[in-house]
Amino acid sequence: MSRISGVNKPSSGARLSGMTATRQVPAPSAITGTDRLELSDQARLLGILEDEVEQLPVIDMAKVESLREAIQSGKMPIDRELLAKKIQQFESFLQDIDS
């Protein structure tokens, strides 16, 4: 996956050791002293989000379509009461997150 604006995510050791976390970048041999690269809070959060997105499972669209067809044709019965209960639980979970 390509990185946003060419910014690579920080190594796990440099990730979030506080809001002022920095990552040392080796200085060219012609420069004496130490150069430092500081990532903004937004860049660090984007790196974390990218990590989480990369760990999500890939959606198998062929399987989704075959399940959709099985449901529509009646080959896969649906317990509507159980489905409604699960949707309510999910909605309740989302409300708890927003609070």
Give per-residue pLDDT as tens, 19-69.
Answer: 444 555 555 555 567 888 888 889 889 999 999 999 988 889 999 999 999
Q: Which amino acid is at 37?
A: L
Q: Residue 50 in contact with residue 9, Cβ under 8 Å?
A: yes
CA separation, residue 58 to residues 47, 50, 90 (Å):
19, 14, 21
Q: What pLDDT does 25 receive? A: 56
pLDDT above 90: percentage of residues in the chain: 43
DSSP one-letter string for 54-69: HTSPPP-HHHHHHHHH
For residue 3, count other CB atoms closer than 10 A to its CB: 12
Spatial separation of the C-alpha atoms in residues 19 and 42, rounded to whole Å: 11
Give per-residue pLDDT as tens, 76-96.
Answer: 988 999 999 999 999 999 998
Is 12's pLDDT higher than 80? no
pTM, two decimals, is 0.34
Spatial separation of the C-alpha atoms in residues 63 and 15, rounded to whole Å: 37
